[in-house]
Amino acid sequence: MKVRYNVFASSKSSEGGDPLFTGEREEMVTWLKGQRDVKGYVVTRSGSDGIIPLAQILMGFVPKFYMMDPKTEDLLPNGRHLRNGMKVLIADSAQRGKAKEMDQSWMRERLMRENRWCTVTELQVINNLTTFIGVYDDGVKFKRSNSTMDSWLVKLSSVIEVKIEETERYSEILSIIKTAFDASEEYAHKRREGDKNAPSTDTIAENAAKAILGTLG
C-alpha cells in the first residue's frame, strides 16, 4: 500500500480542515517546490498523527525507519557491490537519525549525510573499509567512510546506467563517437587551410554511423 501525504495551511487546519494537497511523496515534493511561499505549511502522513518537518521533505530526508520500495530500489549486501554513479542510501536504520534531531546543530550534519540519497563518486574499497565522496541532489558533498560489510539501498535507475557504462559495447560506441568528433575538428582545420581533399562532415558522419551499426550488429 502506497503512503499518501497531506499538506495543510497550518497545524490548526490539519486538525479537521481539508488539505491543500494530497498525494504520494514525490508528487508532494514537486507540488511544494512549485509554491511561492510554504511558510506555515504542515505535512502529515496518512495513518499517523505526527507532523513531518518541512525541512525533512524539501531537503530530501528519508525517515529513520525508511523501508525500500522494491519497484524502484534494490539492496546491495555490502560495499563490494557499490559502483561509481550509483545513487545509494545506507540500509541500516541504526545509522540514520530521527527528523526531530534536525533541531540539534550537532546532529544536523549526520542527518544531512546519512538520511539522504547520494551518488557515489571516487569509490575505494580497501579490506574492511569502504570510502567514497557522496554527491547529494543539492550539490552538497560528504566523504563517506563505512565498513565494507554495511549494506546499501540503491536506486535501480542508477544501476541500469552504471551497467550500461560498464559494457564493452558502450565503450566501443563511445570511442567511435569521440573519433568522429576528432575527425570533424580536423576537417574544419584542413578546410580553413584550403585542403579541398579533406573528408566532408557527411562522410565523417556516414563512417561513424556504419561503425556504430556494425557494433550493434
d(CA 61, CA 95): 14
SS3 22: strand
**Average pLDDT by consecutive 10-residue portion of the chain (217 residues)?**
78 72 82 79 76 68 85 91 93 86 71 91 94 92 96 90 62 74 75 72 74 59
196 & 173 share domain:
yes
d(CA 182, CA 185): 5
Q: How many alpha carbons lie under 13 Å from residue 54 in its C-beta half-sphere?
A: 16
Residues 6 or more apart from 118 whose CB is under 8 A from it? 87, 88, 89, 134, 135, 136, 142, 144
148 & 171 share domain:
no
What pLDDT is attached to residue 92?
Answer: 95
* Residue with grid cell 550509483, as numbered in its chain: 86
Report residue 155 as a C-alpha cell.
536506486
Domain count, the chain: 3
122 & 172 share domain:
no
What pLDDT is attached to residue 131?
Answer: 97
What pLDDT is attached to residue 18?
Answer: 83
Dihedral pair phi/psi, residue 8, rounded to 5°: -120, 160
Q: Domain range spanning residue 45?
A: 5-58
137 & 181 share domain:
no
Residue 19's closest CA among 27, 29, 9? 9
Residues 6 or more apart from 152 whose CB is under 8 A from it? 75, 76, 79, 81, 82, 88, 89, 90, 91
CATH, residue 128 = 2.30.30
Does residue 144 lie in a domain region? yes
Residue 113's closest CA among 103, 127, 102? 102
Report residue 85 as a C-alpha cell.
554513479
What pLDDT is attached to residue 56?
Answer: 64
| pTM metric for this prediction | 0.59
Report residue 154 as a C-alpha cell.
540503491
196 & 132 share domain:
no
Radius of gyration of the chain (CA): 24
What pLDDT is attached to residue 216?
Answer: 47
Does residue 64 lie in a domain region? no
Among the candidates 112, 137, 156, a domain finishes at 156
What pLDDT is attached to residue 53?
Answer: 67
140 & 90 share domain:
yes
